[in-house]
Structure 1
C-alpha cells in the first residue's frame, strides 16, 4: 500500500513533469498599433503558447527574406508604405519549431497640398511682404524668397525685400517624407524719386543806377531740365542763371518762377524779388 508521503511525492513529480513537458508549441504574435502611416514604428508582441519553462529562440523575418530581429518582442521601423508579410519562428532543441505569419499594412501619409497668399506685393523697396500659409495636411514648411536670403521655416512668415526686382517665392510643405511645393512671383518696384523745385536769389550787382543783377541758385532735386520765368516776359532754360532787371521810377516786384521737369512731371517754385527805383 502506497503511503501518503509517497503519493504526495508522485503527485508533485507529475505536476512538475506537466510543466516541463508541454504539448507542441504554437507560434503567434500581435502588433501593438492599429494604424501606421509611414514612416512609423511597429511593436511586435509574442503570443506563442505551449512553451513551458524552456528557453526558446525567436526569429522575426519578412517572408522570403532574412531576419530582422532575434528579440522576443521587437520594435521595427517602417520607412515606406506597403504590405509586409512578417514571419515569427520560435524554436527549441527539444520541441523543434513553429511559425506564424501575418501581413502588416503600412499606409502612405496623406499628401500635403502647398498653397499661400501674398500680401503687400508691388511695394517700393525696401519693403516688407507678408505670406499667409494656406497649405493642407502639412506639418513643417520651408520658405525660399528668391533673393539669396536665408530659408525660413515659420508657418506664415514676413519678409523684407531690400532691392527692386521680381522674386520667385517657393513654399515647400512637408508631412514626414512627402512634400509639395507652391510658387508665386513677388514684384518689388524701385522707390520713386520725389521731384522738388527750389532756388535761392543772390544779389550779384545792385549798385548800378540803371539795373540790378541777381544770380539764381538752383536747389531743385531729381529734375532733368529747368525753365526760368523772371516775371518780365523773359524766360530761359538753364540750371542756375544770372539775370539783370531794369530800374524804373518806382519799385517793381517781379515774381520769379522755376519749373523743375522730369519726364512728364513738373514742379514749380515762385519767389518775389523787389527791384528798387532809380
Structure 2
C-alpha cells in the first residue's frame, strides 16, 4: 500500500549536540509495504558519524529506536496499521555522543493502498535567565531577567520561597536568610524547558544602639535605657556595677553608690553578634549635711517632720515638710544667711518632688525666723508654676501672684531695693521676666536664703538648687566658705588673698604669669575627684598688664610646674584657654580676642578631656577649645588670678560661681 515518508531538515553541528537541534522532518509520498514509514532528513554539518531514529506511540515518549548509520533516510517497519507514531532523530559522533532531538513528526500508519499524513511540531523553547545579585544580606532585592530562546507561550517563575510570578522579567525581595532555588519554566506546543539558579541570602549583622536618661546626677540615680538596635533578637546589658539584663528594655536601673559607670549593650541575631555600644554614667555623691559658712539651716514653724539641708559640688539640697508658707503663719525648712540692707538672691530650682501641687521651693528674704514673720519669696511649684508670695504685716494674711505652666528646672530671683521687693522668673538664667513687686518696710537686718515646704505634714519634699548666688553692693571681703581654701602657687613677690561676701569671691594675686614651664599666681580652690565643671562670671579685673589673668582652673597639684587647664579673662587679650599637658612642660594657648569683663567662663573635665567655654550671658556658651590630658582623678578646682607683674597685686571679683 502507498505510505508517506518524512524528511528531516539538516541537523546542527556536533558542537551543539547536547542542545536542542532545530531539525524539521520533511514529508513526501512513496509506495511501500503496509506497516512501515519512510523518513528522510538533511545531513548535519560537523563530525557526524551517524543518526538514530527514535519513535513511539506517544508524543515525546520514544520506546524504540533504529540506527540509520550515515544515511539521511530510514524505513521504520513492523508498525501497526492504523496506529499513530511519533518520530525524532539524533545525530552522533565517533564516540557515540548524541545531539539533542530534532523536531518531532507524527504519522498514522494506513493499510495497503492508503495514504498517511504527517504534521510538523514547533520546536520547544530553551529556558534561561539572569539573576542580579545572586547573594547578599537580607532584605535582598534580586532582579530576574528572562533570556529564554524560542517561542514562549507560557512562563512561570518559582522563587523558591513559595511565591511565583508569570511576568517576563521581575524583581523579588528575599527578606529572610536562606538558600533559595529560583526556577524559570517556559513552554509552547513543542515542549517545556526549566532552568534554575541558587540565591544565597545571609542575615544582616546586628548593630547595638541605645539611649540612657539621665547620664549624670546625684545618688540614688535612676537611669532608664531605651533600645534602638537593629537586626537583633537577643540583648545583653551590663550596667557597670555588676548588674546585667537580657531584656530588650530592662527596668529603670538605680545607681546607689557615687562613681563613674559604663553601660554596655551587645546584641545578637541570625547575622551574628554586634560590637558593644557604651554610654558613660556619672553618679555623684549626695549632698552632705554640712552647709558652707555662713549658711545655716532651720525648720520654721510646726513642720511635724524635721527637714534638713546639705551642699555638695555647687548644689544645695533641701528637705522640708510643713503645712505651707501661706496665710498667717508658715511651716517649712529654711537654709539662710544674714543680709544687711539691699540684696539679690538667684537660684535655679533643678527639681522638686511633687508632694502637693502647691509644694514650694525657691528663694526668700525674711524679717525674722518666727512663723508669722513678714517676708517675700519667689518659688516654683509642681502644679502652679512660679509664684511670688509675701506677707506684708506680722501675722497678717499672705498674697500671691503666680505664673502657671512653668516646671523645674527653672530660675527664680528676688531683689530688695529699700522697701521694694521684686520677683523674677527665667527659663535660662539670662533673660528675666518680672512676676511682681511689693512695698514693705522690713528692717535692714533680715535673712536671705532657700526655702522648701511639702504642703503635706505627712511627707518630706526634696528640692535641689544650683547656680545659687547672693549679691550685695561692694566686693567680697569675708572668709571663704567651706570647703574653699586659698594659697599662692609658685614664687610671688606679693602675698595674695581671697575673700567671699554675699555671693561674690574677691581674689588678689601677684606673680609673673601662669605660663611656660612654671606658674606664680593666687588660687582659691577645693578638692575635685573625677569629672566636674566650674562656672564663674569674671565681674572685673584690674589692668596690671594686658596679659593679667582671672578665671577658672583645674590643676593636678599645687606645685608651680603642675599640669593644668584653665580658661581666663585678660584686660587686653580677651578670653584664653591655656594648659600645660606635661609636668614642667611648655604651656599652650587658644584665645578669643576683644572680650572684656564682665564675662563668663566655664571649664569642664570629662575623663581625660578638658573643654573651655566662654559666654556673654551665662546661658549661651561658645567652645574655646579642648585638650586631652591624663591627669590623676584627684585634682584641685577653683579660681585663679595673676597680675603678670610681680611688683603689684591684681584684683578680680567673681560672681555666679557654680561647681558641679
TM-score normalised by length of structure 2: 0.23
> In proportion to residue count, which structure has more helix?
1
Higher relative contact order (CA 8 A, sep 6+): 1
